Chains A and B, each alone.
Chain A
Amino acid sequence: MTEDEELLISSLRMLGDTALGDAELDRRVNKFKGALRRLRDDPVEAARIDALVTDAELLEMKRASDSDKVQDWPRQASGGGMMISHAWPSARQGPAQTAAAGHATRVAALSLADVSTAPDVSEFRDFYLSDYQGVVRFLMRTGASLGAAEDAAQEAFTEAWRRIRQGTWADIINQKTWVRMVALNAYRHPPGPPQVPAWPVPNLPDYEGQHGDSHDDLTSQTSLVLDALRSLPYDLQVVVALRMEGFPASVSATYLGITEQKARNLLKRARKILAPQLEELTTPERRRDRDR
C-alpha cells in the first residue's frame, strides 16, 4: 500500500464510527431495549419493522433472480449433478400427459441425483414436492399457460437447488415467497430472444358448461376463472395471484415497486372487474336458471 493510500485510509477510518461516548451509548442502548419491549407489545410497530425486513429480503430475491437465473441455466443443464434439467417435458406430448409425465420424471430424476454433489437432496425434494404444484398454479393465475408455468417453475426450482448446493438456501427466510418471485421473473423474462408479449384476452369466450361437482364441470369452471384472470392487466394479475396464495399486500407492493395502499387499490380494482365476469359461478339464481 502506498503512503498516499495509507493516509487516505487513516482519514477514512476517522469517519467509520460515530464514536458515541459511554453515557450516550448507554442512553441509546436503554432506548433500544425499550423499543424491543414495545415491539413485543405493539403489533402495529411489529408489522412496520417486519415490512422493512421483508422489503430488504424481497429486494435481495429480486436482484438475485434478475441477475443470474437465465445465464446460469445452460451451464446447469449440461452438468451431471443437476439431473432435473433433463426431465423437461417434450413439446410433442399433450398438455395433460406433459404435466403428469414431466412431474413424475422430475421427481424420479431427483432421487437419482448425484448425492456426492448434492448436499441435501431430501430437503430439496420435500420442498419441491410440497410447492411445485403451488408455484405452477400461482403462475397460471398470473396469465401463464400450463407449459410456460411449468417451464418457469422448473427454472425457479433449479435456482433453489443451486442455492442448496452452494449452502445459501438457509439464508433465505421466506423460501415459499422467494421461489414464487423467481418463477414469476423467469416467466416474464424467459431465456432466449425476447418473445412477443402476451396481450390480455379482449373478449372472454362464451361459457357453456353446466355447474356441478363432476370433473368436467370443475375443469370448465377453473378455465373460466383462469380466462377471467388473464383478461386483467398484468399488475392486477400479480396482486390477485399473490393474494390467492395468501401473501399480504406488502409482498405485491414490494414486487411491483408501489406502496401498500396502491397494491390494495389494485386488488380492489381487480375484484371489481372480476365480479361481473364470475357472477354466474357465485349467484344461486343464475345457477338455477342454467340447471333448468
Chain B
Amino acid sequence: MSLEEDYDDEAADLYRKWLGRVQGFLINMGCDQGLAEEIADDAFLGARRRWGHVRTLEAPEGYVFKIARNERSKRQKPHDSRAKDLHPDPPAVLRDVDHGALGVADRAIVRRALQQLPVRQREAVTLRDAIGLSEAGTAEIMEVSVGAVKRYTFEGRQSLRLQLAEFRPRRGGKDQ
C-alpha cells in the first residue's frame, strides 16, 4: 500500500470518528443540514491535503474544526448579526408548546436558545459543552486565550440558563 493510500485511510478514520461532531458544531453555529455537510466534507478534505503535518498533531480534529469554523464564518458572517431575527426567541416561539411534548422539542429549544448568543459565546459553549473539547483545544480552534474561552463559556452558559429557565422541570414533581 502506498503512502498516499495510507494517508487516505487515516483521514477516513478521522472522518468516521469526528464527522458527527463537526457537523453538530456547524449546525449549532447556524448552518442548515446541507451546508453543514458540505463544509464538514471540505474541512476534512482540507486536512487530508495537509495530512503529513496534520497527522503529527496531538489533536488532528482541531485542524478540521479550524477550517470548518473559518469556512462557516466566511459563508455566513453577513447573517451573524441578524441571527436573532432568523431564529426568534425560544420562549416566544415555544411558550404554547404542550409541555408533554417538550421532551421531543428539547433539541429545538436548546438550539434556538444557542442562536441568541453572540458568535464567540456560541462557539465557546458549543465546542466546550456540546462537543466536549478541552479549554486549551477550544482556545486553539478559536484562536483566543484560555482565559477568553473561560469567559465566553461562562457568559454563554449564564445567558442560556436565563433563556431556558422557563423550560426547566420543577423540582419534586411534574412539569407545570
Contact = CB atoms under 8 A, between A and B. Distances in A.
A204 interface: no
Contacts of B129: 8-9, 12-13, 16
A39 to B, nearest CB: 6
B67 A11 contact: no
B164 A11 contact: yes
A13 B125 CA distance: 10
A13 B130 contact: yes
B24 A15 contact: yes
Nearest to A7: B168
Contact of A53 (B19, B50, B132): B50
A28 B8 CA distance: 15
A7 B131 CA distance: 16
A11 B108 CA distance: 11
B139 to A, nearest CB: 13
Contact of B49 (A4, A16, A46, A59): A46
A50 interface: yes
Contacts of A35: 41, 45
A5 B27 CA distance: 22
A56 B74 CA distance: 10
Contacts of A5: 157, 161
Interface in A7-24: 7-9, 11-20
B21 A39 contact: no
Contacts of B170: none
Interface string B117-132: 0000000011001111
Interface string B79-123: 000000000000000000000000000110011001000000000
A36 B130 contact: no
Interface string A64-86: 10000000000000000000000
B15 interface: yes
B138 interface: no
A32 B132 contact: no
Contacts, number: 116
Interface of A is mostly: helix
B12 A25 contact: no
Contacts of A60: 66, 143
A170 to B, nearest CB: 8
B149 to A, nearest CB: 15
Interface residues of B, number: 48
A25 B42 contact: no
B12 A49 contact: no
Contact of B16 (A18, A25, A53, A170): A25
Residue of B20, B107, B143 ringed by the most chain A CB atoms within 10 A: B20
Contact of A20 (B19, B53, B131): B19
Given A15-B107, A29-B12, A53-B67, A36 B160 contact: no
Interface string B121-165: 000011001111000000000010000000000000100110010
B67 A8 contact: no
A270 B168 CA distance: 63
A112 interface: no
Nearest to B25: A16
17 contacts: A5-B157, A8-B157, A8-B160, A8-B161, A15-B110, A15-B114, A17-B20, A17-B131, A25-B20, A28-B19, A29-B16, A36-B11, A36-B45, A39-B48, A49-B42, A56-B70, A60-B143
Interface of B: 4, 8, 11-12, 15-16, 19-21, 23-25, 27-28, 36-37, 41-42, 44-46, 48-50, 53, 57, 66-67, 70-71, 74, 106-107, 110-111, 114, 125-126, 129-132, 143, 157, 160-161, 164, 168
Given A12-B129, A31-B41, A56-B66, 14 more contacts: A8-B161, A12-B126, A18-B23, A18-B27, A20-B19, A32-B44, A32-B45, A33-B8, A39-B48, A52-B71, A56-B70, A59-B70, A64-B143, A171-B57
